[in-house]
Amino acid sequence: MRDTRPAGVADRCEHPTPLASGRDADVFVIDDRRVLRRYREGGDVAAEAAVMAHVASHGFPVPRVYQARGADLVMERLDGPTMLSAFLAGELDATETATCLADLHRRLHALPPRLGQGEDDRILHLDLHPENVMLTSRGPVVIDWRNATEGPADLDVALSAIIIAQVAVEEAHPLASPAATLLAAFVDRVGGRVLTTLDQAVAMRRDDPALTSGERERLDAAAALITGRCWSRQPRGAARPGA
Task: Map out the domains of the chain with their CATH numbers.
Answer: 9-76 (3.30.200.20), 83-232 (no CATH)
Q: Which residue has the higher pLDDT, 243 or 77?
A: 77
The per-residue pLDDT for 192 is 76
The per-residue pLDDT for 233 is 61
Q: Which residue has the higher pLDDT, 76 or 239?
A: 76
The per-residue pLDDT for 100 is 98
CA distance 164 to 128: 10
The per-residue pLDDT for 199 is 96
Whether pLDDT at 101 is above 80: yes
Residues 172-187, mean pLDDT to the nearest whole number = 96
Region of poorest pLDDT, from 7-16, 155-164, 176-185, 209-218: 7-16
Confidence of residue 243 (pLDDT cuts 50, 70, 90): very low
Whether pLDDT at 51 is above 70: yes
**Nearest Cα to Cα of residue 36 among 74, 92, 85, 65:** 74
Whether pLDDT at 7 is above 70: no
Confidence of residue 24 (pLDDT cuts 50, 70, 90): confident
Render pLDDT for 30-46 as a digit per residue (tens, 0 to 9). Answer: 998 999 999 888 889 99
The per-residue pLDDT for 3 is 38
Residues 47-70, mean pLDDT to the nearest whole number = 96
Radius of gyration of the chain, Cα coordinates, nearest whole angstrom: 19
- Cβ pair 101, 152 in contact under 8 A: no
The per-residue pLDDT for 120 is 86
Residues 16-24, mean pLDDT to the nearest whole number = 74
The per-residue pLDDT for 40 is 85
The per-residue pLDDT for 242 is 45
Whether pLDDT at 9 is above 70: no
The per-residue pLDDT for 14 is 58
Whether pLDDT at 105 is above 60: yes
The per-residue pLDDT for 59 is 97
